[in-house]
Structure 1
Amino acid sequence: MMAGETPNEFKLNNQPTDGISAVKFAPNSSQFLLVSSWDCGVRLYDVIANNLRMKFFHSSPVLDCCFQDAVHSYSGGLDNTLKMFDFNMGAETHVGTHDAPIRSVEFCPEVNVVITGSWDSTVKLWDPRTPCSAGSFSQPDKVYTMSVSGDRLLVGTAGRRVLVWDLRNMGYVQQRRESSLKYQTRCIRAFPNKQGYVLSSIEGRVAVEYLDPSPEVQKKKYAFKCHRIKEDGIEKIYPVNAVAFHNAYNTFATGGSDGFVNIWDGFNKKRLCQFHRYPSSIASLAFSHDGTVLAIASSYMYEQDEIENIPEDSVFIRNVTDQETKPK
């Protein structure tokens, strides 16, 4: 069976027309999905009806997006600008800017703050009530990826650095770490149980890290190889672009430039399953809040520059089972 023909999976209609940068489910919903793209668009889909509900635009490619609540989204990208979209009003608000592209946009419900990470080596906080700036915080290098863990913020920067910040007290960095992977960080995501995080690199590896600095907890950290394919006796190694957690089970999905999605049980160091190969690189992944649905962005990421017949950019919606996501 070809991709998209499995009974538990379908392709979204009205796809973005250029590379997909992020897919995010609405909080507490498996119905609404936000998708940002290099075509400068931010799209809101109803995945149950499989239709495009709304489309907003930036002046340049959009690199990330997030929901604040069911009716507001935030997004940023190569125009250096953070925008808020109000779905009820169909209106946009220009919230503020960075000095370089915005790479990462997150919302922290615990502290009620929107967070942007930029290639200008800063993280900025934004108060969604106004919306206005609530402070700018220097990072050691370009911000590549961020994840919220309760009231903490995990920041992955260039130079393989990881910073742990307390969003209620940004006066100092809680922890400064170095990635245990030798190559550039691609994605960081926090465990839903707030005990640690998963970090992926451009070199087919994933690290499972713990936040508690005590030696006995740090002994549990490890890294593993994945998204590697042997072809004609040669091992091809692919970037691991995307990580997404199942909120209930603390298991996680990884997506690579090999076009595969794997589901892992990080605590028991086991792969639970692998789906079929998708038409192109996996650019982004998101589980719905209840973990029943996984959104999979299959989108060529120019890993080998220009190729002929680039597969179309597609978001697949897959209904996942306990069999696939629950620790054995």
Structure 2
Amino acid sequence: MMGETPNEFQLNNPPSDGISAVKFGPNSSQFLLISSWDTSVCLYDVVANHLRMRYNHPAPVLDCCFQDAVHCYSGGLDNILKVYDFNTNSGTNVGTHDAPIRCVEFCPEVNVVVTGSWDSTVKLWDPRTPCSAGSFSQPDKVYTLSVCGDRLVVGTAGRRILVWDLRNMGYVQQRRESSLKYQTRCIRCFPNKLGYVLSSIEGRVAVEYLDPSPESQKKKYAFKCHRIKENGVEMIYPVNSIAFHPLHNTFASGGSDGFVNIWDGFNKKRLCQFHRYPTSIASLAFSHDGSVLAIASSYMFENEEMKYVPEDNIFIRNVSDQETKPKS
């Protein structure tokens, strides 16, 4: 079987269309949430390799997140934010945006759900009620966002980056421009909360620091990745996904070249590269203890329509410290 190795297997019954996000539960490596263009949000037990639960939106789902072990949130092209309770197997529409919801994240520090939309707003939602806790204008369509303690880093169209304080959304803490020349694809914050990693559609990743002081800003840098020389021509691929190892502050990057790389961002080193997957890496997620990496291999129509579209698959990989820990 393609890509089956002793430390890796494919999930049974994967979604039937493009996979938009994979997210592990907050405190176990057992449960994985997957949103898809087939309009579904699925909960898998990856230990038993079994689909536990599925619910649907009226349209493709672009992102999802766990709030706790028994509740998740999801949003997509129907503009609706849904909350789902696994215990009662029931869902509720929490609220809406004026355009598709691109990002859904939960911030445990502030106990708030954050959504980013193509309507150029970020909205906060109180999970206790659940209802809207405010809407905040962004300079353009929201493409990606990441929660960093009680701060929020938002990446919009036009290569804009905004840093917000979730406890006081009255003003923007920092306005930045991406240090990469091309469209932002993904932003993820370091677990130690010192900064974030940003990727672009043009095979580059930037490591940025939140502290605006000149000595911190001197440390930022960018590097090329997810590029392959074929017949003397360098093919350049979008870097679609970034996932941080929760303990080591190292990160995985997934590209449309079908490769997953593990990086030590502080020491500017690549730690390893896994085998090539059947198609684009659409999403990546480490489990809470960093022992397992979920890898969504899902064609993202970078080259328009293909006669033969590779199947959408999720690979569950047990990762070792050797692959993910900085070399001393």
| Common fold by TM > 0.5 | yes
Aligned mates of 1:174, 1:217 — CA distance in 2:
17
Counterpart secondary structure, 1:248? coil
| Residue 212 of structure 1 pairs with residue 211 of structure 2 | yes
Q: Which residue of 1 aligns with 2:285?
A: 286
Aligned mates of 2:2, 2:266 — CA distance in 1:
32
> How many matched pairs?
327
Residue correspondence of structure 1 range 1-328 to structure 2 within 5 A: 2-3=2-3, 5-328=4-327
Cα deviation, 1:125-161, whole Å, max 9, x if unaligned, reads 0000010000000000000000000000010000000
Aligned mates of 1:137, 1:2 — CA distance in 2:
45
Cα deviation, 1:226-277, whole Å, max 9, x if unaligned, reads 0000000000000000000001000000000000000000000000000000
Q: What are structure 1's unaligned runs of at least 5 residues?
A: none
What letter is aligned with 1:250?
N
Give the deviation of 1:308 after TM superposition.
2.0
Q: Could you tell me the TM-score, scaled by structure 2's length?
A: 0.99
Counterpart secondary structure, 2:216? helix
Stretch of structure 1 that moved more, 307-316 or 209-218:
307-316
Counterpart secondary structure, 1:170? coil
Aligned mates of 1:215, 1:318 — CA distance in 2:
40
Q: What are structure 2's unaligned runs of at least 5 residues?
A: none
Give the deviation of 1:2 after TM superposition.
3.1
Counterpart secondary structure, 1:99? coil
Counterpart secondary structure, 1:173? coil
How many percent of aligned residue pairs carry the same amino acid?
83
What letter is aligned with 1:2?
M
Counterpart secondary structure, 1:323? helix
Give the deviation of 1:309 after TM superposition.
1.6
Counterpart secondary structure, 2:170? strand
Give the deviation of 1:310 after TM superposition.
1.0
Aligned mates of 1:197, 1:314 — CA distance in 2:
28
Cα deviation, 1:45-80, whole Å, max 9, x if unaligned, reads 000000000000000000000000000000000000
Aligned mates of 1:233, 1:58 — CA distance in 2:
45
Aligned mates of 1:242, 1:296 — CA distance in 2:
10
